[in-house]
Amino acid sequence: MQVEECFNLEKYRVLKAPSSAFYIPNFLTPEDEDSLLSKIYEVPKPKWTILSNRRLQNWGGLPHAKGMVPEVIPSWLNNYVIRVGSLDLFDGKQPNHVLINEYQPSQGIMPHFDGPLFYPTISTITVGSHTLLDFYKPTDETDDGVIGYQNLYIGSFLLERRSLVCFKESMYSSYMHGIKEVFEDNLVDNNILNDVAETSQTLVRGTRLSITIRHFPKVLKFKMKLGH
């Protein structure tokens, strides 16, 4: 998808979701997707951080409460940062940080908030495979300090390959989001909030890469070069 000179973001607002969410199918072309997948997997192994249920790459710097030491984002990735920035999803600010998560089939992430370090807008490109991103309205903390969410599911976004999704305002700050650890997604059993072209009732997951593009406000004044 080439960003139009007068791009109408409102065309992609998800009306069934709480304020505010946008979903752009086919934001990438198949050629874009192939190129991104190739570049991501060409990255040296030390760039990957291995977690218990997935692995990830961090680009742009390591976010910290005291500030982020900026890292130059490579051009193969920064092209998409610029493209997302041109949509003005960040209210005039430019995105400067990318987190790439790899999810194998059956891998997911517990419901969580992204927290206050970033500007309260998140945008994610999906490549490789679909997923269902589930949203929950949290309850008050329990006696052991755990935030409850099990009985407060509000709905899911079907994130199709090559799509871009953006969450702002209450969708960022008031609703937890997560991905179930399953091999396939039954769309009939879920409240799908966004309009999608998919008509199959059950979708089998492949390996998905999420490319999350955000704005980190507190950037320190010196940059870190790649390889140092």
CATH number, domain with residue 110 = 2.60.120.590
In the chain, how many domains are there?
1
Give the structural domain span for 67: 11-130+160-173+207-214
Q: What is the mean pLDDT of the chain?
A: 91
Cis bond upstream, residue 86 (ω within 30):
no
- The answer to the question of residue 115 being in a domain is yes
Whether 228 has a pLDDT exceeding 50, the answer reads no
Whether 226 has a pLDDT exceeding 50, the answer reads no
- The answer to the question of residue 145 being in a domain is no
| 213 vs 8, higher pLDDT | 213
- The answer to the question of residue 141 being in a domain is no
Span 18-27, average pLDDT? 96
Helices 30-42/75-85 angle, 10° precision = 130
- The answer to the question of residue 202 being in a domain is no
Q: What is the pLDDT of residues 49-60, one digit of tens each?
A: 999 889 999 999
The DSSP line for 132-192 is: EEEEE----B-TTSPBP-TT-EEEEEEE-TT-EEEEEHHHHHT-EEEE---SEEEGGGS-B
| 179 vs 150, higher pLDDT | 179
Model confidence, pTM = 0.90
Helix/strand/coil for 212: strand
